[in-house]
Structure 1
Amino acid sequence: MHTVVIGGSQAGLATGYHLKRLGVDHVILDENDEVGASWRNRWESLHLFTPARYSCLPGMPSPLPPRSRPGKDDIADYLRTYSEELDLPVRTAVRVERVAAEGDGYVVEATDGDIRAHNVVIATGAFHNPRIPEFAETLHLDMIQMHSSEYRSPAQAQEGGVLVVGAGQSGAEIALDLVHNHQVWLSGNDNGEEPTTPDTFADRLLMPLMWFVVSRVVNVANPIGRKARDHFLYPPRGIPRAGGTKKKLLEAGVEWVPRTTGSSDGHPVLEDGRVLDVANVVWCTGFVTDYSWVDLPVFDDFGYPTHDRGVVESQPGLYFMGLPFQSTLSSALVGGMGRDAEYIAEHLSRRRSPAGSVAFATDQESRSAPGSGAVR
């Protein structure tokens, strides 16, 4: 196999599109049962604050009205259709357990067999395991706690108040979702908002300019982009919310309070010393990277891969896709991945396969009839 792409969501599919366009033999592995599942399994009211026009992958525009805000199922449907219409070689229900160097290439150890490849593109993004503070374990046992990755709808909360910890876009949206049935406190620092409110005249007027800025100007190739990258990633911190979100929160009756810093007698304690008597806590505190299954010395002290636009120069043939600030501020957004994917696909297509590349095949393929699938 010439190239294995690990991850079959937007980053992996965009990479697959350009690999296919260049005629590069590849396979895309995804641990979910269907393409788009990672989006479908998010909270029910989730909508992007980037319009559909800027929320699509290369080769296929969004079927939604250009100014509409796609919901999570809209994105899931789009990704599934994308993989089917473009006939990308996606193999679902395959979990990769280890990636390691072997000879002139790599071995990808997966649940359905090992694959040896000349190149590996890790397109799982950088948001893996929920980040929850240690003091969460000291809160009352009868208090319902969940991370934003587990939240689906207000029906999961029990009667009583809800503390939403983390005032980024996810925390704000979940607080707005819950406030119709509960008293809600939103805890965290204010990281600011975009200058315009979605669906307003000002937003429609300025959105093309803002997209140009996040997808072209704030680029790690220049000092502005590098400064922004370092600000948001080292250490990791939230990006600005959609414009007008704070006003919506206040109008809906959500109380914005300081950071949650600990507990007292089983109750959460705020930075100002206030103790909240709540029955539910939703942790919108982000994620930590987990590349422990990548058995290669290519990560920095924050767990991010050391790369140049997704190319790991210290490990030829290894690439990453879908990283925050991979090249621009938009690199981790659905509509911002196409240019990064094109760059990586063209870079790896120029690498020559080693002599005797027949050895770079799936273990199962050597025991199977020609044309049979080596990985389900």
Structure 2
Amino acid sequence: MKETFDTIVIGGGQSGLACGYYLRRAKLNFLIIDKQQVAGGAWLNAWDSLTLFSPADYSSLPGWLMPKSENKFPLKKEVIDYLSKYEAHYQLNVKRGVETIQITKDNSFFQVHSNQGIFKCKTIISATGTWENPFIPKLKGLENFKGLQIHSRNYKNPDAFVGLKTLVVGEGNSGAQIVAETSKVTTVKWSTKRDPEFLPDEVDGYYLFNVATAKYKAEKEGKPFDASQYNLGNIVMVPPVKEARKRGVLVSSGSFHKLTKNGVVWDSGMEEEFDAIIWCTGFGYATDYLKSLVKTDERGIAKTQESRSLEVDGLWLVGYGGWTGYASATLVGLNRTAKQTIKEIEEYFKVYS
């Protein structure tokens, strides 16, 4: 492609679309490239029953409210539909089926090398999130286990686990929700490094965003802030988790240190057999394609000030959570980071144009 864009956004999920909204308002010549064939970002690959943690009123991208849902928390299909219509509503310039391989910089221009050729631009926004970089701890015997073994990234529904004694690993929201769902069809145990901590029933994602915002503001002003009562990593009591609590299945069996051919060895020394393991152990950051530009650690993190790269002029990273902007991995928290990023890009062009 011979055209040189002001900005190319890598990733067409919620972060890329929010940036597109502000790039459009700034009248910058931009292109969003995305490896998916349709709109929806990571939501396209999430498990079937996943919902938002906040009501629709508090889960919108900039400029256009998410339609109300019949459910307290919008369903996966409703979120995908909203993202698709949002993209069309603002006529955002998205090119699909484009997988970014690497990005290089020659003088003042970036070259985005992809499966569909090279795209050229003056600035880059990396907005690829975490979904493509699932993390599984390197425990002894991991490769020896002969049963079914998947990461939550590849979990869709409990159908494949009917009749299989299953171990779910991880104390976060995904672990709790998958325990809740699979325990309806088979015998399940839950392995966590620490006792699972649950938020009060009335606390949802919007409340957590407000806590995160207050904490962020306090830190900026050098003031103390106690958010211990509402730890942002604690489990949100969405309806399936509440139902599972009533059934008494959300009880941790503790942690294990080794896998065997047929199961695990618990920290107590006891061995137990399992037919399947579901790893709900989180993600790194999907930033491998930036390695020609910046140094990244084992999780994929590069040095930034908020979303602006500290190593390469003209590079921003948006939507990676607390690393690049408070609560920026959520729909409700993304707006501030996207808006500030495009403002910085406008200032960049004033200096370098």
User: What TM-score, normalized by structure 2, do the two folds share?
Assistant: 0.87
Return the letter of the residue paired with 1:179.
Answer: S
Deviation at 1:62, TM superposition (A): 1.0
1:60-71 matched pairs, under 5 angstroms = 60-65=64-69, 68-71=72-75
What does residue 260 of structure 1 align with? 256
Preserved contact between residue 127 and residue 287 of structure 1 (Cα < 8 Å): yes
What does residue 312 of structure 2 align with? 315
| SS across alignment from 1:13 | helix
Alignment pair present for 1:251 and 2:250: no
What does residue 32 of structure 2 align with? 28
- Matches of 1:209 and 1:179 in 2, distance apart? 29
- Matches of 1:102 and 1:317 in 2, distance apart? 12
Preserved contact between residue 165 and residue 260 of structure 1 (Cα < 8 Å): no
What does residue 273 of structure 2 align with? 277
| SS across alignment from 2:271 | coil
Question: Over residues 74-117 of structure 1, what are the superposed CA-to-partner deviations in whole Å (9 max), with x where a residue is unaligned?
Answer: 11111101000111111111111111111112111111111111
- Matches of 1:316 and 1:190 in 2, distance apart? 44
Question: Over residues 15-39 of structure 1, what are the superposed CA-to-partner deviations in whole Å (9 max), with x where a residue is unaligned?
Answer: 0000101111100000000010521
Deviation at 1:209, TM superposition (A): 5.4
* Alpha-carbon RMSD: 2.8
What does residue 142 of structure 2 align with? 136
- Matches of 2:124 and 2:50 in 1, distance apart? 32
What does residue 213 of structure 1 align with? 211
Distance change in 2, residues 1:247/1:223 (3 Å): farther
- Matches of 2:86 and 2:336 in 1, distance apart? 17
Preserved contact between residue 13 and residue 88 of structure 1 (Cα < 8 Å): yes
Deviation at 1:59, TM superposition (A): 0.5
Preserved contact between residue 218 and residue 328 of structure 1 (Cα < 8 Å): no
Alignment pair present for 1:239 and 2:233: yes
Distance change in 2, residues 1:137/1:246 (3 Å): same
What does residue 331 of structure 2 align with? 334
Aligned residues: 339
Question: Over residues 223-246 of structure 1, what are the superposed CA-to-partner deviations in whole Å (9 max), with x where a residue is unaligned?
Answer: 579999xxx9xxxxx921104787
Q: Which range is displaced more, 210-219 or 15-24?
A: 210-219
| SS across alignment from 1:91 | strand
Alignment pair present for 1:289 and 2:290: no
What does residue 192 of structure 1 align with? 197
Distance change in 2, residues 1:209/1:171 (3 Å): closer
Preserved contact between residue 159 and residue 279 of structure 1 (Cα < 8 Å): no
Distance change in 2, residues 1:216/1:182 (3 Å): same
Return the letter of the residue paired with 1:114.
Answer: I
Q: Percent identity?
A: 27
Distance change in 2, residues 1:210/1:224 (3 Å): farther
Preserved contact between residue 215 and residue 328 of structure 1 (Cα < 8 Å): no
| SS across alignment from 1:276 | strand
User: What TM-score, normalized by structure 1, do the two folds share?
Assistant: 0.82
1:24-63 matched pairs, under 5 angstroms = 24-63=28-67
Deviation at 1:343, TM superposition (A): 0.3
Higher relative contact order (CA 8 A, sep 6+): 1
- Matches of 1:32 and 1:353 in 2, distance apart? 34
- Matches of 2:266 and 2:72 in 1, distance apart? 38
- Matches of 1:57 and 1:326 in 2, distance apart? 20
1:162 to 166, 173, 177: 166
| SS across alignment from 2:189 | strand
Distance change in 2, residues 1:37/1:296 (3 Å): closer
Deviation at 1:210, TM superposition (A): 4.3
Deviation at 1:157, TM superposition (A): 1.4
Return the letter of the residue paired with 1:338.
Answer: N
- Could you tell me which runs of 5 or more consecutive residues in structure 1 were left unpaired when the two chains were aligned: 233-237, 358-376
- Matches of 1:129 and 1:297 in 2, distance apart? 18
